[in-house]
Structure 1
Amino acid sequence: MNHDASILALIQKYQAHVADAVSLFRQMGIKGNILRAWRRSAIPTWADEGDNSDPIIPQRGLLSDARSIRYSFHGIGCSVEYGSVVVDFDFGPNGRFDGFDAWCLHLFAESFPEFSAFADIDLVRTCLSDLAESGTIAKIEGVVGSHLYYFIDGMSADISRT
């Protein structure tokens, strides 16, 4: 089995699911920082400074009634359940959502038979390390979400407004 091609396919599928979840939040009317829209729910009105044009969203809820997609925010990220498929992701700098780490990919892989080898988190870590050594992916140090990897050719791309 070619793990390089397989891990890249897993990452691509994972990022597509994350982008879909973010798109569903945008359809709820969240134009700015999604994480801030959730955190505003815990801030007293008098202490909520800044742009308040986005709706406040609860920590847990339904993203799509028709598709039965549920979400739950945590720390700097969100877990989204597409039926039996779980997509857990963290937001990076400037609201980026294209980052990934071994834990999130490992959890995601458990939902797909074609990626069953990556249910082994050590294999995911090894593959990500190999991709980092080859210059395909890297971490952005010194920022929120510095544990996340990003594709080198997309590190400066602003996809956070998709």
Structure 2
Amino acid sequence: MKHRWHEKIDHPKSPLELLITDFLAKVDEGTKLFEEKFGNRNILRLWRSGKIEHCGQTTNGIQHELHGVGCAIHLPSESVNFDYGSNKKINGFDVWRLYIYALDRPLVYELLRQENTKKEFKELVLLKTIKKYLHLMTYIYSTQLTHRNKFIL
């Protein structure tokens, strides 16, 4: 099939890009549950003000564990651990959290090795597929970039 010059042709996603997409979708799913129960996706302030415990049940079978600037969400069959970004953003990640997320899903990411993940992560940074937030150890996937995001190139 021929493509016209103005049509966008997507390149196939790498295993790490698929992992990033999966990770961010799971964070989105979990924080939507927070919004339903607590009225906000970022529940750190509720914890720090003493309105909720740092560990608790969000809904039936779903637990949350708040820490520092982030949260671990324990779903019935899997978990996801993430940090909240500036302005309550939930779209950041780092190589360690991605690797831990992949380890929790050995059937899906069975060939993923930590060394390969770090290497591919660096390659995606060089290709500007992922970008680093300014002054944070968090990255953002380039498909989510807006003019408001501040990142190191």
Q: Verify same fold: TM over 0.5.
A: yes
Q: Assess if the C-alpha contact under 8 Å between 2:42 and 2:84 holds in 1.
A: no
2:80 alignment counterpart = 87
- In the alignment, what sits opposite 2:138? 148
| 1:93 to 1:77, Cα distance in 2 relative to 1, 3 A | same
**Which has a greater percent of helix?**
1
1:81-129 Cα offsets, whole Å, 9 max, x none, are: 11341200001111111111111111110122121233x3222221111
The 2-side partners of 1:157 and 1:37 are apart by: 30
Aligned to 1:71, what secondary structure does the other structure show? strand
Match of 1:14 among 23, 27, 43: 23
Matched, 1:29 2:38: yes
Structure with greater contact order relative to length (CA < 8 Å, sep ≥ 6): 1
Structure 1 unaligned segments of length 5 or more: list them: 42-55
Once the two structures are superposed, what CA deviation does each residue of 1:32-78 show, in whole Å capped at 9, x if it has no partner? 7422122111xxxxxxxxxxxxxx2210011121xx11110011110
| One-letter code aligned to 2:108 | E
The code of the aligned residue for 1:137 comes to: I
CA distance change for structure 1 residues 13 and 60 in 2, over 3 Å: closer, same or farther?
same
Q: RMSD of aligned C-alpha atoms? A: 2.0
C-alpha displacement at 1:131, in angstroms?
A: 0.5
Query: Of 85, 89, 96, which aligns to 2:89?
Result: 96
In 2, distance between residues paired with 1:101 and 1:20?
A: 19
> Mapping of 1:70-149 within 5 angstroms?
70-112=63-105, 113-118=107-112, 120-142=113-135, 146-149=136-139
Using the alignment, how far apart are the partners of 2:57 and 2:18 within structure 1?
A: 28
TM-score by length of 2: 0.80
Give the % identical residues.
27
Q: Tell me, what secondary structure is at the counterpart of 1:150?
A: strand
**Total equivalences in the alignment:** 136
Give the distance between the partners of 1:92 and 1:70, measured in 2 at CA. 21
Deviation at 1:141, TM superposition (A): 1.2
SS of the aligned residue for 1:20 comes to helix
- Amino acid corresponding to residue 111 of structure 2 in structure 1: A
